Amino acid sequence: MKQTNILLGALLALLSSLIAVADSSLVITDPWVREAPPGADVLAAYMTIANPGANTATIIALSSPDFERIEIHRTLVEDGVARMVPVESLRIAAAERVVFEPGGMHLMLYNPKRQLREGDSVLLDLQQATAASIRVDVPVVKMNTDDDDDHHHHH
């Protein structure tokens, strides 16, 4: 009987360590999609993605039932001119976080399949290289035009 308990304890310890390794979930905070004028064929989304795990996480693709295509963009300023550069895959080191914000990194959402207004929400799926994909429910928010620092944002 005592032998059985020891085995059971060892098995439980093994299981919990396996679960700890498999749990490499990213933590998404403050996600929002910026409301665009009616008929816009591209919208931008912002969020903070933190990696509380012990391993580097890599986002290899994003998709959404509400958009045809999603790209990760970095904003580069060269000679005073801002331009957007697609990022093929996004690596987030252990205990690091990546901030997507107006004027910086952002998600580019192409060809919305419905009109999106403030108060709506969209689903985004973040596909990871070595972990399950993450589904995020993202509200559509109207950005205050007074602090519009995103005027370069034309395609």
Tell me which residues touch Cu ion (CB under 5 A).
Answer: 73, 84, 108
CB of 26 to Cu ion, least distance (A): 21
- With H, G, I as helix, E, B as strand and everything else as coil, classify residue 70: strand
Q: How far apart are CA 46 and CA 53, in angstroms?
A: 22
**Interacting residues of 38 by C-beta distance below 8 A, sequence separation 6+:** 115
Cβ closest to Cu ion, residue 6 vs residue 78: 78
Residue 77 per-residue DSSP state: E
First to last CA, the chain: 71
Minimum distance, C-beta of residue 47 to Cu ion, in the bound complex (Å): 15
The least CB distance from residue 113 to Cu ion, in Å, is 19
Comparison of 43 and 131: residue with beta carbon closer to Cu ion: 43
CB of 148 to Cu ion, least distance (A): 15
CB-CB neighbours of 31 under 10 Å = 20
57 versus 108: smaller Cβ distance to Cu ion: 108
User: Residue of minimal CB distance from Cu ion?
Assistant: 73
